[in-house]
Amino acid sequence: MAQLKERPKPFLLPDYCKGCGRCISACAKHCITFDKEIDAATGYVPVVIDLDACNACGLCMDACPEPYGLRETPQDVDFELQDPAKLFGSKTPRPEPKVVPNTLIPLPKTEPLVIKGNYASALGALLAGCRHVFGYPITPSTEGAELMAKLLPKLDGTFLQAVSEVAAVNHMYGSGGAGYPCMTFTSSPGFSLMLEGVSYMIGAEVPGVFVNIMRGGPGLGNIAPEQSDVKLACRGLGHGNTHAITLMPSTPQEMLDLTMLAFELTFKYRNPVVILGDGYLGQMTGKVNLPAAMIKPGIPTWAVNGDADHRGNLISSIYLSEHDLEMHNIYLNDKYRQMEENETRSESFMTADAEILIVATNTPARASKGAVQDLRRQGIKAGLFRPITVWPFPVNQLMKDLAHVKHMVVVEASNGQLEDEIRLALSKAGVTQLPVMSHVRHFGGMLPQQTEVLAHVKAILAKEVR
């Protein structure tokens, strides 16, 4: 009995009571009842406790769903005289999040590797410090995941074969949100499934690299190369106001280099980065040189890393108040604008005096470069403009190359998705007088060939002469 007397009785600030009454049914002594009046501050009817009848069994406190609802009365405090705001004092302050910087680790010079584009991209990721890879097998990107499954255990990293692409992107959301460089390999139908998660990652500012080796669609289509996800990457990364830097490599070497760049950019902007390759590029074996250094990643300040230094952090994309969400979008738009200003990349080949400008990306850009060489040998002033970022579109570079251009030929394995980006970018840049535009296109799993580009340009010129 002596112990019972020492047990604290419950205490309630009426303002914190929602009047659910769960304490009433819990009270064995029937000493809790509803008050007679509605609490003016909350609009609820709080409970009142007859403390004289109470034996301090504590069941009511256990039944109260509110963290600061029914509480134990400290023995030495006269609650009635306390200002509620001061009652609960301050606890352990949230730690100031710390940054652990990246470390650069030099590599000796090595002989070139002879590897597939998918493998090159995987190595680029590893060199950039990525040890967490999540994916779901899909041709023609699978070798990337397979190589990661083989190499990561040797590097004490993790490869998780997700239950679906939907799960894969959400593994990335967790891993990227924890501050770690993470990636996936996918192909068109898989990328579609990931877009919900990409939108969340953009909203919550979570970094992650998506390698999409594009194949023929729509639907299941086939497993041969296409370039039909340009629109998806540039204009449709899930719901909402979304953009991500989208890189389009054209050689296995670039698969490595641009994957490394993608990791740098995804952390720089806290925004996913997409690499679009065509099915050929993923499967294509070529010469790949390793860089002079690799990266050991640190931990950024914002990470929900699950350690003491980052306890107060939050990864979330929800902004229920319209005003807050608008402010968040204004902030994201500003980030997109910075990407547009700083991150456009392209390659120009023999464009200084070009009258025929071929625009192409990925493997078709290689074929087009061959065609430009053929045309130059025949005395035709042809040049190649190759966007390396398709979003943001390198429009300023393109405008420079347009100085003498009479014909622009867009070579792509889609029904005009790249051409749409070109037109939109030029239009936004205020270019109203476009050169004549025509195209060489394939869709269904074929890529435009050098001979076709050559024939197309010669047909244009023949018509002009006529």
CA dihedral of residues 318, 323, 328, 329 (deg, nearest 10) = 110
Report, in Å, the least distance between residue 329 CB and another protein.
18
User: If you write DSSP's letter for every residue of 395-412 in order, what string do you get?
Assistant: HHHHHHHTTT-SEEEEEE
The residue (of 20 and 99) whose beta carbon lies closer to another protein is 20
User: If you write DSSP's letter for every residue of 420-457 in order, what string do you get?
Assistant: HHHHHHHHHTT--SPPEEEEEE--SS----HHHHHHHH
**Interactions with another protein, residue window 28-47 (CB under 8 A):** 41-42, 44
- State how far the Cα of 85 lies from the Cα of 427, in Å rounded to an integer: 58
Q: 371 to each of 8, 366, 374, 382, 431, how far by Cα in Å? A: 87, 9, 5, 9, 27
Check residue 298 for interaction with another protein (CB under 8 A).
no
**Interactions with another protein, residue window 341-370 (CB under 8 A):** 363, 366-367, 369-370
Choice from 11, 24, 264, 423 touching another protein (CB under 8 A): 24
Question: For the chain, how long is the longest CA-to-CA vector?
Answer: 113
**Interactions with another protein, residue window 113-142 (CB under 8 A):** 113-114, 123, 126-127, 129, 131-132, 134
**Interactions with another protein, residue window 138-177 (CB under 8 A):** 151, 154-158, 160, 162-164, 166-168, 170-177
In 63-194 the beta strands, taken as DSSP E runs, fall at: 71-72, 103-106, 113-116, 132-135, 158-161, 182-187
Check residue 407 for interaction with another protein (CB under 8 A).
no
Check residue 18 for interaction with another protein (CB under 8 A).
yes
Choice from 314, 377, 379, 462 touching another protein (CB under 8 A): 314
Choice from 33, 82, 316, 338 touching another protein (CB under 8 A): 316
Check residue 186 for interaction with another protein (CB under 8 A).
no
Contact 191, 135 (CB under 8 A): no
Check residue 200 for interaction with another protein (CB under 8 A).
yes
What's the gap between Cα 170 and its chain centre? 11
Check residue 431 for interaction with another protein (CB under 8 A).
no
Check residue 441 for interaction with another protein (CB under 8 A).
no
Choice from 38, 51, 77, 105 touching another protein (CB under 8 A): 105
For residue 462 the two structure tokens come to 């023949």
Report, in Å, the least distance between residue 95 CB and another protein.
8
At 5 the three-state DSSP class reads helix
